[in-house]
């Protein structure tokens, strides 16, 4: 009997860039975890299904403290996919892997029409969908215009620049932009502008009913917003480390 030799197919390896939330803990860790609990309690589902990187650069902790921090985050359903800025002596097989060369923004490209069609066909109770888009303008001043509402459970990421939404952002939805966010409807979900370190970014909406707003990492949840601005057309900007808001028109 003759042996039949078959050539095995190679395993295909591909490089990918993903958008992740970076957490930067501060000492004392107990106080920082308390503030994290406060954020999670006032913005339900904030960390749900979200990839998280733990940035510990410059944090004066030992290996046991880092292990305990990762464990405490796990108990809060915050899944750490990697650790950035850690000394080699802090890491080990029982901890998430080291991550290097993290960038403030990543490249996310998809055909908006295809995403919009899938979003329109999906029921609003579906699991979280991520909407990404190509810039409409030149790369020097990138921006996108989204003509359909952002539904509950959907996330719209555009770290390259400004986002304009001709519609509303539902409760349980979120918009994340490297630049400013313009919403020509009600903002009932979460809006995070200036996520690539752009402190001059702003948030504009026709009707403020947000669960959370943030610019350059500084945030306010619903119960921290001025009651007299609820339901109004507003703009939100960053003044130092304080979020400010005022009515439009």
CA–CA gap between residue 142 and residue 227 (Å, rounded)? 34
Check whether the bond before 28 is cis (ω within 30° of 0). yes
- Position 39 scores a pLDDT of 79
Q: What is the pLDDT of residues 196-242, one digit of tens each?
A: 888 999 999 999 999 999 998 888 888 888 999 999 999 999 998 88
118 or 38, which is more confident? 38
Q: What is the pLDDT of residues 26-41, one digit of tens each?
A: 999 999 999 888 877 7
- Position 238 scores a pLDDT of 92
Sign (positive or negative) of CA dihedral 76, 175, 23, 53? positive
CA–CA gap between residue 134 and residue 73 (Å, rounded)? 34
Q: What is the pLDDT of residues 158-187, one digit of tens each?
A: 888 999 999 999 998 999 898 999 999 999
Q: Are 230 and 217 in contact (CB under 8 A)?
A: no
Q: Which CATH number fits domain 112-247: 2.60.40.10, 2.160.20.70, 3.20.20.220, 3.30.565.10?
A: 2.160.20.70
- Position 44 scores a pLDDT of 62
6 or 62, which is more confident? 62
Considering the chain, tell me which residue range(s) the CATH 2.160.20.70 domain(s) occupy: 112-247
Q: What is the mean pLDDT of residues 98-114?
A: 50
- Averaged confidence pLDDT in the chain: 79
The burial of 218, by beta-carbon neighbours within 10 Å (0-12 exposed, 13-18 middle, 19 or more buried), is given as middle
The whole-model pTM stands at 0.58
3-state secondary structure (DSSP) of residue 185: strand
Q: Are 133 and 158 in contact (CB under 8 A)?
A: yes
pLDDT at position 107 over 50: no
Considering the chain, tell me which residue range(s) the CATH 3.30.70 domain(s) occupy: 21-99
CA–CA gap between residue 95 and residue 77 (Å, rounded)? 16
5 or 13, which is more confident? 13
Q: Which CATH number fits domain 21-99: 2.30.130, 1.10.357, 3.90.120, 3.30.70?
A: 3.30.70
- Position 128 scores a pLDDT of 42
pLDDT band, residue 104 (cuts 50/70/90): low
């Amino acid at each position: 009997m003759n042996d039949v030799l078959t050539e095995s197919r190679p395993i295909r390896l591909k490089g990918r860039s993903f958008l992740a939330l970076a957490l930067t803990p501060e000492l004392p860790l107990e106080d920082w975890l308390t503030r994290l609990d406060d954020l999670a309690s006032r913005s339900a589902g904030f960390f749900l299904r979200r990839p998280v990187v733990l940035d510990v650069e410059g944090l004066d902790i030992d290996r046991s403290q880092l292990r305990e921090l990762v464990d405490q985050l796990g108990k809060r359903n915050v899944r750490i996919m990697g650790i950035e800025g850690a000394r080699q002596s802090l890491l080990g097989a029982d901890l998430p892997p080291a991550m290097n060369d993290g960038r403030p923004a990543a490249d996310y490209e998809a055909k908006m029409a295809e995403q919009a069609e899938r979003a329109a066909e999906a029921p609003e109770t579906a699991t979280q969908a991520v909407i990404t888009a190509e810039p409409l303008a030149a790369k020097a001043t990138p921006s996108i215009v989204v003509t359909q509402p952002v539904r509950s459970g959907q996330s719209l990421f555009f770290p390259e620049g400004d986002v304009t939404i001709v519609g509303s952002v539902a409760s349980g939805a979120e918009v994340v932009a490297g630049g400013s966010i313009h919403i020509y409807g009600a903002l009932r979900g979460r809006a995070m502008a200036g996520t690539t370190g752009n402190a001059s970014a702003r948030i504009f909406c026709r009707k403020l009913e947000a669960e959370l707003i943030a610019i350059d990492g500084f945030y306010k949840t619903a119960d921290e917003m001025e009651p007299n601005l609820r339901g109004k057309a507003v703009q939100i900007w960053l003044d130092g480390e304080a979020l400010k808001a005022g009515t439009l028109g």
